[in-house]
A and B are shown apart, each in its own frame.
Chain A
Amino acid sequence: MGDDTSTTYTAITYNFCELAELRKEKFITKWVDELKDEITAVYMNDKIHVVSSVCPHFGGDFAVDLKKGEMRCKWHDWTFCIDGGQCTNRNLKTKLRQYEFFEQNGSLIIRAS
């Protein structure tokens, strides 16, 4: 008998939104039961970013500021860079969680494990 403690995680894909809708709205936020996370997709400077929109501080929700390229927590005013996920106004090492995604038949598909 070996001491195999490794865990296998199954890949999950989730159809988050229509790309046309995201380009029009600039950002879309919703709680995704399948991923047990609130996720924000942002269309900014012709690029798409998909991040967890649960503030890593205490779990707050964000306001999106496209001009500054930041997400601002509505609970404590902590701000995070959308592009890299770093906190920009507090000394915090944790970044916003970024999700992998791909485009398929006009939809934005998130991939997680």
Chain B
Amino acid sequence: MIAASFEYDAPSTLEEAIGLLQQHGEDAKILSGGHSLIPMMKLRLASPERVIDINGIPGLSYIREEGGVLKIGAVTRESELEHSELLKKKFPIFADVTKLIADPQVRNMGTIGGNLAHGDAANDHPAAMLALRATVIATGPGGKRSIPIDEFFLGFYTTALEQTEILTEIQIPVPSKGTGSAYHKLERKVGDYATAGTAVQLTINDKGICTTIGIGLTNVNPIPLRATRSEQALLNKPLTDENIAAAAQMASEDCNPSADLRGDVEYKRAMVAVLVKRMIKKAIERAK
């Protein structure tokens, strides 16, 4: 319940924050929403010597569309994403994802940047970012850097962010007409991490052919997983029940869930197949 002692900084500019990261290296952790970091610190599973609070830095929280790209500031709260009218219209997947993250109070503090930077395959945004083919913008001493989402997640709690970089923005290409997206996760109770979760974004043309598709999986692999084989099996093909079922089966084979209190491997694989099928169907409906 009580963390070990640490030093605390609340920089007011990004440069200051990056400077502090350069100065303190491995001993410092960024505090964004704090609802992954602080719980770990309270249980003394993490004891950084220094906490750098970036909540006071202006200009890191926004949701806007610019030149065909959706840009979201890293310190945008989950609750803001949940209620954004802009997102509801073009990216219904955001409401799906955010309303399943923890609970309303946690969503008032938790940020999308923190959710991604934590590097946890159990978090919900990573799968959606895979499906949406997002790009992560990191800012460090050398300036800004674009990291495609497929290169972002490297391992257990490990991302492509350098020690001195801060995740500052997420960019998502605004899709064309005829695109729908959806996310769902199975959980043991509301607020739980996923037993399995699936994010889908797809475009379907007036001939019923799938012209774009992204499928991301939550908590069934050491790192957030793209169901590549399933995507390739559906791209430029008609979205028939048969094709969808085959793609779902592939996803269940390609993931690597661990047995835990939520279920064994066989069950989780089967749930992946069910969710892939259901989310593809939902995305198709929303594409209309």
Q: Do A and B share a complex?
A: no
Q: Which residues of A does B touch, CB under 8 Å?
A: none
